[in-house]
Chain A
Amino acid sequence: MITVSLLRKKLDQKEFSSVELTKEYLKKIHENEHLGAFNTICEEEALISASKADERIASGDALPLTGIPMAIKDNICTKGIKTTCSSKMLESYAPPYDATVMEKLNSQNIVFLGKTSMDEFAMGGSSQTSALSKPKNPFNTECVPGGSSGGSATAVSAGLCSAALGSDTGGSIRQPAAFCGITGIKPTYGTVSRFGLVAFGSSLDQIGPMANSAEDCGIILNAIAGQDKHDRTTRKHDIDFLSSIGNSIKGMKIGLPKEFFGDGIDEEVKAAVLNVAKFYENMGAELVEVSMPTLKYAVSAYYLLACAEASSNLSRYDGVKYGYRTQNPESYDELIKKTRSEGFGTEVKRRILLGTYALSSGYYDAYYKKALAVRQQCKAEHDEIFSKCDLMLTPTAPTVAYKAGANINDPVKMYLADICTVTANIAGIPAISVPCGCDKSGMPIGFSLSAKRFDDAKLIGAADIFEKENPHPTANI
């Protein structure tokens, strides 16, 4: 496993240069174009940054990510480089500014390899709603890599980059991480700036790392987290995301919410996650059964909130200022109607309609307001659980990765597959997905740990303990 921390050592010891490393990754990217991980490959820019990084390493002021080749999800704004959200609507859109996370990564001189494919506007759990490149699962190319950060998961899992950034609104980092056998964390809402992350559900979205180890996730979070003057929803904090690594788990209480192990969860997945529980118990943790009664409303509430916010966030794509514009409209009304009908894919339109409906006068109280009430209740239940335990252990997804094309015509079934991940977004808490073996067909299974707000470091520490004894599965590519 080639981790960021390993590459750091080798770069600092001059075993190879960042330019050599970057060329190696670019070669691998080109050899694996069939995996469809990238929408845009930034070959020239990557080599320029790599040689700059080498200068910095030579001068002895390398930071943890200097010279490290990374991929970025295609909904994070990169100045002058296309940021498409895998949508026809933004197919040729190059933002005039860098997202805060990009500024932070660039200040460390990372090597930015390219933009990874995703579900269109991050709406989906398979990356199949992409209007551009459709990524494939490196463990079985007939299967989906999960989504929406499927391209990032594919790229990390197939070794096309050392680590990547994804974004998570209802599981979009954790579920593809689980499907592709890598580690991904959705940090506490407010730890990482959303400035420059193309908004889907603003009160739920967070950027986070996807990598080959929990430690790598911590290294990246240390680089990208922090209060941002461009995003007032970020909070002042001084978390060292690596601070719990090496700490014992002895005496920690791990909650197992029974609702997450019920019907609809694949037996093999359930068994693998219960094995993880046993592992932690053997390491000295205490297992506690807990309960989250609102889970049965969580998916509905999540889709109402996320779609309501999305319906407003995506209204700006009207063909007036940037992005796709229909040909020869007769009027302004026709311009926006045709632009939006032609520019958005089916799933995006479905969610815009759902959200518009939920916010309409006469329906607001019945839908949006009720969803807010569920959100409050869900937060309260999390508070209750985390007053009794340090961590909560659940499956990341009810199943392993499925075949491309399955579920695509059954949106409700697809939405229900988010059951294990949405509560972390609703409650704003951190959650990490870590691989825990494969099922009989050889597809990876992931488990999730979550904790109370701003306890992100604890998750990374606990995940690291597991990873040290249980290496990630590797894809044969």
Chain B
Amino acid sequence: MCKKYDTVIGLEIHAELSTKTKAFCTCDASFGGDPNTHICPVCTGQPGALPIINHAAVSYAMRAGLALNCDINRYTRFDRKNYFYPDLPKAYQISQLDLPLCVNGSLELSTGTVVRIHQIHLEEDAGKMVHDDYHGESWADYNRCSVPLIEIVTEPDIKSSEEAAEFVSKIALYLKYLNVCDAKMQEGSIRADVNVSLKPAGSSVLGDRAEIKNLNSIRSIQRAIESEIARQTEILEGGGKVVQETRRFDDATGTTSSLRSKENANDYRYFPEPDILAITFTDEDIEKAKSEIPLLPHQRVERYTKEYGLTDEDARVITLEKYLSDFYDQTVRIYPQYKNVANLFLTEIMRRVKDTDSEDIPISPKDFAKVVEMADKNTVNRNDAKSIIRIMFEEGGDPEEIAKKNGFIVVEDTAAIAEVIDKLFADRPDLIEDYKNGKTNVFGFFMGQANRALTGKATPMSIKAYLEKKFSEI
């Protein structure tokens, strides 16, 4: 069946920047803390207090913009967005309207769609309301208030819920790689507003759109879009007209409902923020910001395949999470056997951290490098290397200590090799006879027996060498 409507999606992604201090004061910007412990006269909007811009926030936002192919406005200004809400102590949010920090960017998706980025601007977050329905009370916590945010506004270039999900995941990954946002959706550090409209297939005229506010997981973004497409399709099929409005998504029912219509939209009465001077950037400022951009995931993949000789598949898997890729990088910096490190990393490390929420790897790159090196040098055998990693994960400890304690260290005890193999030969003259008669596969039997008897005392390599010598003498 031919598709009747094209879906048109635009996104506004809010990402909290991971600066140490807030956007306009020096309060701690880290997540958590008892309510109203990360506050001061400025971020609680005391009379007479004035904002002071955090330059780290500006450079973080600029880094994000440059990595997303944006132009940096040489002259950028802040504006006040005025509205009343108890979690917004000044009753205005310091944001950017006409002269945002970054404009005209883009990001390509795996479908080939290039999503244009209209602008990225810097603003401040609001606080949090805690409602106590039992006592009928509401409390305001201003710890998050004035934490710096960037808002990434796309053009309506996204064509499906899958593309939207990919876009948001990719942005989250980029921001992590850029060290500007921890991208923990469950802590609200990335949220999205989604604009959805339908138009007749192939038409260039956009339909009326609905905006779904404040989605805080990739899954809800995808579900909200799908439910909205279904709702709008039904309206259009029935000959109706989609109303331009703001809607909210209910995770429990998986449907959207109207929040406010266009007529009731807030008039934010934007005007230039008189307390913060406009910023003028020089070419040097922008060059410096460019030089501070770390390698992005696709650039790391390229390095892993071209310089390190990893397969494309392995390189991609390692770069799916920044903290894993960072761990790999740190390990190969200590012990540059790229492939050997990757092999043990992909099997033993990734398997153990894949299903946890935590981004903490309980062992250090230095200790991991040591294990790979021990395996490579046959100081321990490969299986024992895996056991060492398991023990380090479960109990911690130094890899060499673990190897010693568990008898994993391979000692080249030549006397033992000779003793064991000589005894095997003496015990099985029948097999020696068979060998003489051309049954060379008895070699395998001796190899197996000797390996078992010599675990921890000799490497298979020297056992094999001694056996070969022994057989050649027959």
Contact = CB atoms under 8 A, between A and B. Distances in A.
Majority SS of interface residues in chain B?
loop
B86 A332 contact: yes
Contacts of A308: 271
B84 A232 contact: no
A196 interface: yes
B48 A321 contact: no
A318 B87 CA distance: 11
B48 A77 contact: yes
Given A308-B271, A318-B84, A199 B47 contact: yes
Interface in A226-279: 229-233
Interface residues of A, number: 42
Interface in B23-54: 41, 44-50, 52-53
Contacts of B138: 332
Contact of A196 (B48, B80, B90): B48
Contacts of B276: 232
Contacts of A83: 47-48
Interface residues of B, number: 28
Nearest to B44: A321
Nearest to B271: A359
Nearest to B84: A336
B377 to A, nearest CB: 57
Interface string A330-351: 0010001000000000000000
A312 B47 contact: no
B398 to A, nearest CB: 48
A312 B53 CA distance: 19
A309 B270 CA distance: 11
A458 interface: no
Interface string A86-104: 0000100101110100000
A391 B381 CA distance: 91
A233 B277 contact: yes
A315 B45 CA distance: 10
B269 interface: yes
Contacts of B41: 95-97
A312 B50 contact: no
Contacts of B274: 202-203, 233, 309
B283 interface: no
B180 to A, nearest CB: 23
Interface in B247-293: 267, 269-271, 274-277
B140 interface: yes
A356 B50 contact: no
Q: Which 6 A-B pairs have the closest CB atoms?
A: A315-B91, A359-B269, A202-B274, A203-B274, A198-B47, A196-B48
5 contacts: A196-B48, A232-B275, A232-B276, A316-B90, A364-B269
Interface of B: 41, 44-50, 52-53, 80, 82, 84, 86, 89-92, 138, 140, 267, 269-271, 274-277
Interface of A: 75-77, 83, 85, 90, 93, 95-97, 99, 194-199, 202-203, 229-233, 308-309, 311-312, 315-316, 318, 320-322, 332, 336, 356, 359-361, 364, 368
Given A232-B275, A312-B91, A316-B45, 9 more contacts: A96-B46, A97-B46, A198-B48, A230-B52, A232-B50, A233-B274, A316-B91, A320-B86, A336-B84
